[in-house]
Amino acid sequence: MSDTRRLTIREAYAEASSFLRQRGVREPEANAQRLLEHLLGESRSGLLIRWAEPFPQEREADWQQLLARKASGEPVQYMIGEQEFYGLPFAVTPAVLIPRPETELLVEAVVTLGRQLWDPAAARQDASPAVCDVGTGSGAIAVSFAAQCPAWRVLASDISRDALEVAEANAARNGMGGRIAFYEGDLLVPYIERGIRLDAVVSNPPYIPEADEAGLQPEVRLYEPRTALYGGADGLVLYRRLASQLAELPAVPALVGFEVGQGQAAEVKRLLEQAADWDDVRIIPDLGGIERHVVAYRKPS
Ligand code: GLN
Closest ligand 1 atom, residue 206 Cα:
9
pLDDT in tens, 38-55: 999 999 999 999 999 999
What is the pTM assigned to this prediction?
Answer: 0.93
Q: Which pLDDT belongs to residue 72?
A: 94
Between CA 230 and CA 244 the distance in angstroms is 19
Between CA 281 and CA 172 the distance in angstroms is 34
**Whether pLDDT at 2 is above 70:** no
Between CA 53 and CA 9 the distance in angstroms is 6
Between CA 275 and CA 201 the distance in angstroms is 14
| Ligand 1 pocket residues where CB is under 6 Å | 97, 99, 103, 135-138, 140-141, 204-206, 228
Instruction: For residue 105, report the distance from its CA to the centre of ligand 1, in Å.
Output: 13
The best mutation among 82, 92, 136 to test binding of ligand 1, ranked by most ligand atoms within 8 Å of the C-beta, falls on 136
Q: Is 158 annotated as a binding residue?
A: yes
E strand residue ranges, 136-277? 153-158, 180-184, 200-203, 255-259
Q: Report yes or no: 192 and 244 within 8 Å, Cβ to Cβ.
A: no
Superfamily in which the 96-297 domain is placed by CATH? Vaccinia Virus protein VP39 (3.40.50.150)
Q: Is 31 exposed, middle or buried (0-12, 13-18, 19+ CB in 10 A)?
A: buried
Strand-pair partners of 184: 158
The best mutation among 85, 86, 93, 97 to test binding of ligand 1, ranked by most ligand atoms within 8 Å of the C-beta, falls on 97
Q: What is the ipTM of this complex?
A: 0.93
Residue-averaged pLDDT of the chain: 94
pLDDT in tens, 126-181: 568 999 999 999 999 999 999 999 999 999 999 999 999 999 999 999 999 999 99
Q: What does residue 294 show for φ and ψ, rounded to 5 degrees?
A: -120, 120
Domain ranges of the chain: 2-72, 96-297
